[in-house]
Structure 1
Amino acid sequence: MSEHKGRRPKPEEIKRIERIYDTDYEVGQDNIKAMGMDIHNPVFVISATLILVFVVLSLILPEVSKEALESTRVWIGEQFDWLFLTAGNLFVLFCLALIILPVGKVRLGGQDAKPEFGYLSWFAMLFAAGMGIGLMFWAVAEPVGYFTEWFGTPLNVGGGDATASLGATMYHWGLHPWAIYGVVALSLAFFAYNKGMPLTIRSTFYPLLGDRVWGWFGHVIDTLAVLATLFGLATSLGLGAQQAASGMAFLFGVDGGLMTQIAIIIGITAIAVISVIRGIHGGVRLLSNINMLVALALLIFVMIAGGLIAFAANAGTTVWGYVQYILPLGNPVGREDTTFYHSWTVFFWAWWISWSPFVGMFIARVSKGRTVREFMTAVLILPMLVTVVWMSAFGGGGIDQVREGVGELAGGIGESSLALFQMLNEMPFTSITSFLAIVLVLVFFITSSDSGSLVIDSITSGGKLDAPTPQRIFWAVLEGTVAGMLLAIGGDAALNALQAGAISTGLPFTIVLLFMCVSLGIALYQELKLIKHGYA
């Protein structure tokens, strides 16, 4: 029995806490096995049906689908902008509190659990899955777009302000997205590894709903998670296909239009299927480690080619801009730059939220053995620091070229997907670095797709970690199909269609995440009480 201070819980209090998690539910007990699949009824059926209906309607009525997506995006942005911004702020405060408070010493998997992966592999996997494609696509385009007023300007500060441009970019890519991921990841890991529950979203609501999570309440939660994950992934895969196609057009002179983008989605989905079959150890971990090395090499090159002194100055500007603008940009009240934050901040927040079931579950699966404090520090703080360096090198380098009137960026952002290649074109070894950038986009594409397939597979099989291979293949193929549909029905405005898909599924899941924070807070407090008095 451990030494402790304060009131010792009464035996009936300990029994009450332990009884909260006393359930007869077993993973897979209500699954249907058919055609080589292990289907969790009705989550698999409802999710797959809704997604297939979307695909079919998009094929039959592309114009109607396009108008519906666009009107939905605009309506959600106008009516629920306050919800997205407020929720994002609450997630950051919640995660920071977990690092500081005594619950930070709770260990995922029990106090004697050991980590499965080393720090380097662990961090590489969570970072590559978390925002790899996004950083490649937006690192140059976003800050340069704000600087040149091509995308509008944050808080109406006007163009030509590097501090505001880099600060707003960091606001979108810093603490807030990783706090959203951290909430889901920690919740899933704790309830799976410490309470022995299925690794699925519904398990995280057990302190609030009890055994009702195994009924229709849980079915709705898991179905929302599947839809959010798939459309969030489709947004990323669509952006990745656009950028890879633009890079190939830039480097090799091929047509970078829709057919090339669709061909890329087909080819990469095929490779992702192979990686999915190999699993985390044989597929995702290997690809993540390779990609992080290539990304590091490209980052170092850009820092050196752009000038280390200039990089240091841009890093200072990025940090100061982030500190200066994080509070004003997080305030939804009295904003005059509504066009800016509806088009960008609300989109990014919805995108991160729609990605959170996928990234959160993936991080949870590779994070057993970490303490809450160690987990949150790695998930929240370290990626933010890496993003500061990345945005300072690429975004700051792009702004420097605009200031100096160098290259095509000086004329503004014509195509977002070309911005990175236009910046690299003004540096040495353009062919090599542009080729590496294309490889990075494609491999980030693969890691996102196969990680997402493994996660959706787990949710739709009731939390099983080893669902049948045909099921993994089904979801990998469906992700690529939805990404292709969004690009096709969007046409010239494909970005709007991609944004609409993420925003539409991100809205309901925002509510889910807010209640998840409450449930996790209750559970961690109870766990700390048990640990403190030697019962856990």
Structure 2
Amino acid sequence: MGLRTDPVIFSVSVALTVLFVGASIVFTAPVDALFGTMSAWIITNLGWFYILGVTTFLIFLVWICFSRYGRLRLGRDQDRPEYSRLTWFAMLFAAGIGTILMFWGVAEPISHFANPPQNNVEPQSVPAAQQAMGYTLYHFGLHTWTIFCLPALCFAYFVYRRGLPMRVSSIFHPFLGDRIHGPLGRAIDILAVLGTVFGVAVSLGLGTLQINSGLTALFGVEFSKPVQVLLIAVTTALATTSVALGLDRGIKRLSDLNIALAVGLLLFVLATGSTLYLVRGSIEMVGVYLNWLVPLAFWNDTFGDTGWQGDWTVFYWAWTITWAPFVGIFIARISRGRTIREFVLGVLGLPTAFTLVWFSVFGLSAFDIELNGPGGLVQTVVVEEDIPGALFAFLDNFPFASVVSAVSVLIVIIFFTTSADSAALVVDMLSSRTQEGTTPVRQRVFWAVTSGVVAATLITATGRSGLDALSEVVTVIGLPFFAMGFLMMVALLRSLNDDTVPEAVHHLPTLRVHLPRRRMPRIPRIPRPADGEPAPGSPRWIIPRPGGPGTERPGPERDHSE
């Protein structure tokens, strides 16, 4: 067929995807029950593992960044970055959690504001607002980007410094060796393909609900399955066009456009809202985030045991980890030539800083509307549970609400388009024989269409409950990836140590030198002579006193001819 794929990875991944979609349609209730039970068990019994794991990954990355390994370049020593820092940031952000910020920017702060995670705080109060921002920033700050940064760093290192294929199995080369090209390596890559396809399908479904809600608020479009399927088709068509144009002409241009529109929306809310209040609050939220970061990094809800953490934090980490192969490979693909220190600081620092500003502006504005304005957001988000419509209910409180809402819909569409086409590019790398993703266009188009078909099929078959079921599926699929994270740290550290130790010294055998024991000759003891008499058997040397007669000793004759 003219394809350049790994037949096993490609065919098995496609077969399992079709099998899952068919089973979800035909056996909806049993499939939902199976994955629901497994997901609930993971969240209940392994929640502590997720909390400890992400915090461990973060500590490891910070240490790697500032250690002697930070000077190593992700590529050959003479390689330099392909993209500018601004373009690089826009691309990694658009492919990362840009979609999530649009979806949860208002909804999560308001949810925690109305229902505080800790019961000792009065709902809809100032302490509740501070706690809500602390938890929200914890969910979308350093910890989320840690989940993306660790595999991305491993991909970039093993691909660009070791020359291995752009696959998840390449990370485990220090353990498996050439067996990464065998059945075990292919099994790892198949799992990565499935996790990426399902994770993107969930996000496409959530984005479709948000876009449909925005169109309903703007033009009265019916909130229904046919409309949502049509929206998925439009988003998939845009993603297919973008992925066909390639990384530089398609994804890069869309990412630049989208980050410009997102920054424009942020500045609009900042300028037309309570500007002074938002500026002061954004600075204060930095302190709130730092104050809550360490306690929440190790918090497991041990004493309260309310189940809140399983519904929010553990689910976030489990869902995010299914995106890790996709986002990690994409970030590695656009980061060749950067040093490890620049890479870690950029991937962790820049998106976290933008996330902090974004949630500070939108979250504090939402609190201002509830505490000092007309309110209504708690009613929409918590009482009516209209989370997709939270952003548009929020924008109704600002000037030019219709125009700004339309721009927001466009931003959401482009965010989900960049996520879909980036995922298609990455899945194509995982299932192909090539290293740089230079495959036939039809392969990348196939994976873009597949993600759209999976999302549309589930919406058509089971509606929103189908997306909930798929969320439970990615939670189950994400568990092996989470366990792999610890192996990734060990594999990366071993390889980094090999690179920083000189080759000749690293392979120099240990030498043991055995010196013979030598005994010093004994000096005979000379008896002390009597006054004025030499010792018996000793030469009769006359040692004149200093300055006495006979102290003038002629020196040796020297040749002065030279």
Relative to structure 1, is the Cα distance of residues 153 and 333 closer, same or farther in structure 2, using a 3 angstrom cutoff? closer
Q: Aligned-pair distance for 1:67?
A: 3.1
Aligned partner of 1:427 among 398, 421, 426: 398
Aligned partner of 2:213 among 229, 246, 268: 246
Question: Is residue 216 from structure 1 mapped to residue 183 from structure 2 by the alignment?
Answer: yes
Aligned partner of 2:412 among 441, 444, 450: 441
Aligned partner of 1:67 among 28, 33, 55: 33
Instruction: Please list every run of 5 or more consecutive structure 1 residues that lacks an aligned counterpart in the other structure.
Output: 1-34
Aligned partner of 1:417 among 388, 407, 419: 388
Cα distance in 1, alignment partners of residues 95 and 296 from structure 2: 26
Q: Secondary structure of the residue that 2:307 maps to in structure 1? A: helix
Task: Confirm or deny: 8 A CA contact 2:148 2:324 kept in the other structure.
Answer: yes
Could you list the per-position Cα deviations for residues 458-510 of structure 1 after superposition, in whole angstroms to 9, with x for gaps in the alignment? 00114531122222122111111222244345535456334313312211111
Relative to structure 1, is the Cα distance of residues 185 and 517 closer, same or farther in structure 2, using a 3 angstrom cutoff? same
Task: Confirm or deny: 8 A CA contact 1:226 1:459 kept in the other structure.
Answer: yes
Give the stretch that moved more between structures: 282-291 or 45-54: 45-54
Percent identical residues: 39
Task: Confirm or deny: 8 A CA contact 1:70 1:497 kept in the other structure.
Answer: yes
Relative to structure 1, is the Cα distance of residues 289 and 208 closer, same or farther in structure 2, using a 3 angstrom cutoff? same
Q: Which residue of 2 is the match for residue 461 of structure 1?
A: 432
Q: Aligned-pair distance for 1:224?
A: 1.6
Q: Aligned-pair distance for 1:154?
A: 4.9
Q: Which residue of 1 is the match for residue 117 of structure 2?
A: 153
Aligned partner of 1:127 among 93, 101, 112: 93
Residues paired across the two proteins, number: 499
Aligned partner of 1:325 among 261, 268, 292: 292
Q: Which residue of 2 is the match for residue 115 of structure 1?
A: 81
Aligned partner of 2:53 among 77, 87, 104: 87
Q: Which residue of 2 is the match for residue 391 of structure 1?
A: 359
Cα distance in 1, alignment partners of residues 293 and 112 from structure 2: 16
Aligned partner of 1:343 among 304, 311, 314: 311
Q: Aligned-pair distance for 1:84?
A: 1.2
Cα distance in 2, alignment partners of residues 472 and 492 from structure 1: 28
Q: Which residue of 2 is the match for residue 26 of structure 1?
A: none
Task: Confirm or deny: 8 A CA contact 1:407 1:423 kept in the other structure.
Answer: no
Q: Secondary structure of the residue that 2:4 maps to in structure 1? A: strand
Alignment of 1:7-406 (within 5 A): 35-149=1-115, 153-154=117-118, 157-160=121-124, 161-330=128-297, 331-332=299-300, 334-406=302-374
Relative to structure 1, is the Cα distance of residues 200 and 497 closer, same or farther in structure 2, using a 3 angstrom cutoff? same
Could you list the per-position Cα deviations for residues 207-255 of structure 1 after superposition, in whole angstroms to 9, with x for gaps in the alignment? 1221121112211211121111112111211111111110000111101
Could you list the per-position Cα deviations for residues 107-136 of structure 1 after superposition, in whole angstroms to 9, with x for gaps in the alignment? 011221111111111110001101111110
Give the stretch that moved more between structures: 393-402 or 490-499: 490-499
Q: Aligned-pair distance for 1:75?
A: 2.1
Task: Confirm or deny: 8 A CA contact 2:147 2:320 kept in the other structure.
Answer: yes
Relative to structure 1, is the Cα distance of residues 211 and 397 closer, same or farther in structure 2, using a 3 angstrom cutoff? same
Q: Aligned-pair distance for 1:410?
A: 4.1
Relative to structure 1, is the Cα distance of residues 518 and 157 closer, same or farther in structure 2, using a 3 angstrom cutoff? farther
Q: Secondary structure of the residue that 2:79 maps to in structure 1? A: coil
Aligned-pair Cα RMSD in Å: 2.0
Q: Aligned-pair distance for 1:49?
A: 1.2
Q: Aligned-pair distance for 1:163?
A: 1.0
Could you list the per-position Cα deviations for residues 159-204 of structure 1 after superposition, in whole angstroms to 9, with x for gaps in the alignment? 2311110110011100011111111111111111111111111111
Q: Secondary structure of the residue that 1:195 maps to in structure 2? A: coil
Relative to structure 1, is the Cα distance of residues 158 and 86 closer, same or farther in structure 2, using a 3 angstrom cutoff? farther
Would you tell me which structure has more helix in proportion to its own residues? 1
What is the identity, as a one-letter code, of the residue corresponding to 2:229? I
Q: Aligned-pair distance for 1:317?
A: 4.3
Relative to structure 1, is the Cα distance of residues 154 and 455 closer, same or farther in structure 2, using a 3 angstrom cutoff? farther
Task: Confirm or deny: 8 A CA contact 1:305 1:428 kept in the other structure.
Answer: yes
Q: Aligned-pair distance for 1:316?
A: 3.6
Q: Aligned-pair distance for 1:347?
A: 1.3
Task: Confirm or deny: 8 A CA contact 2:380 2:390 kept in the other structure.
Answer: no
What is the identity, as a one-letter code, of the residue corresponding to 2:432? S
What is the identity, as a one-letter code, of the residue corresponding to 1:153? P
Cα distance in 2, alignment partners of residues 346 and 317 from structure 1: 27
Q: Which residue of 2 is the match for residue 500 of structure 1?
A: 472
Q: Which residue of 2 is the match for residue 513 of structure 1?
A: 485
What is the identity, as a one-letter code, of the residue corresponding to 1:311? L
Could you list the per-position Cα deviations for residues 239-276 of structure 1 after superposition, in whole angstroms to 9, with x for gaps in the alignment? 11111110000111101222211211111101111111
Q: Secondary structure of the residue that 2:74 maps to in structure 1? A: coil
Give the stretch that moved more between structures: 54-63 or 187-196: 54-63
Task: Confirm or deny: 8 A CA contact 2:300 2:309 kept in the other structure.
Answer: no
Relative to structure 1, is the Cα distance of residues 498 and 155 closer, same or farther in structure 2, using a 3 angstrom cutoff? farther
Task: Confirm or deny: 8 A CA contact 2:110 2:378 kept in the other structure.
Answer: no
Cα distance in 2, alignment partners of residues 39 and 428 from structure 1: 52
Give the stretch that moved more between structures: 521-530 or 420-429: 521-530
Q: Which residue of 1 is the match for residue 455 of structure 2?
A: 483
Moved over 6 A (4+): 531-535
Task: Confirm or deny: 8 A CA contact 1:221 1:512 kept in the other structure.
Answer: no
TM-score between both structures, scaled by the size of structure 1: 0.89
Q: Secondary structure of the residue that 1:334 maps to in structure 2? A: coil
What is the identity, as a one-letter code, of the residue corresponding to 2:346? A
Task: Confirm or deny: 8 A CA contact 1:73 1:499 kept in the other structure.
Answer: no
What is the identity, as a one-letter code, of the residue corresponding to 1:516? M
Give the stretch that moved more between structures: 99-108 or 76-85: 76-85
Relative to structure 1, is the Cα distance of residues 324 and 531 closer, same or farther in structure 2, using a 3 angstrom cutoff? farther
Cα distance in 2, alignment partners of residues 69 and 266 from structure 1: 27
